[in-house]
Amino acid sequence: MQDRRITVHDLMQASYCYVLTEPVGKNFHANFFPELTPKEMLELGVFGGKYMTDCTGEFPKDWFVHAKLCHERHDPMLNFFEINASQPLSIWRMKGWIYEEDPRGWFQWYCRYYMGRRCPDDERQIKRWAAFRRHVTQIKNNCRKGDVGCRRKQRQAVLHWAYDARQL
C-alpha cells in the first residue's frame, strides 16, 4: 500500500494533514478490536447525529448514505437508544481527553485510525477504549441478555465506543 496524504478543511480544522499508512479497517493494534465500524455506528445513530456533519468530505461517502445526522443540533432521538449519552465537548477538553490533532475526540480518532492513520495518541486512545469495557460488564451483570430497554443510557454510551450494545 502506498501512503496517502489527507488534508482536512472543516469547522474545527483548517489545512490539517495526516498520512494513511495502513489499509482501511486493517492492521489494528492487538489490544484494539472494536465491534462496530465507524460507518455502522453512524448508521445506528450516535452522538445525537451532530458529530460528523461538517466533515463528510474526509471519509468515504458510503459512511454517510444511511447515517443518522442532524446539521442543526444534537438530537438524542437520532441515537439508537433514543437517549442522550453524551457530555459536552467542553467537559472532554477540561478533563484532558482531547488530543490536539483530533479536536472532536475519541470517535474522530477512531475514524482516522480505521482509515489507516497511525499517530502518537493511538496507545492512549486504545487504553481509553479498553477501560470503557467496564460499562459492557455492568450491562451484562445487571440486565437480561437482549433486554435493550435496560440501562439505555449506558448502552448508548458503549455504542459511542464501538461496542455493539444491541448484542448484550
pLDDT tens profile 81-125? 999 998 888 888 888 888 899 999 999 999 999 999 999 999 999
Distance CA 141, CA 138 (A): 5
Q: What is the DSSP string of 38-78?
A: HHHHHHH--GGGTTTTT-GGGS-GGGSSS----SSS--GGG
What global pTM score does this model have?
0.94
Could you tell me which residues come within 8 angstroms of residue 24 by beta carbon, excluding any fewer than 6 positions away?
114, 115, 116
More confident residue, 114 or 167: 114
Give the residue carrying C-alpha cell 482501511. 24
- Tens-place pLDDT, residues 5-16: 999 999 999 999
Short-list 126, 81, 63, CA closest to 118: 126
Residue 155: enclosing H or E segment and its boundaries? helix 152-160
Identify the pLDDT of residue 20.
Answer: 97
**Termini Cα distance of the chain:** 37
CB under 8 Å to 37, separation ≥6 — which residues?
Answer: 25, 114, 162
Instruction: Classify residue 102 by its DSSP letter.
Output: B
Nearest to 63 by CA among 114, 129, 23, 6: 114
105 CA to centre of own chain: 8
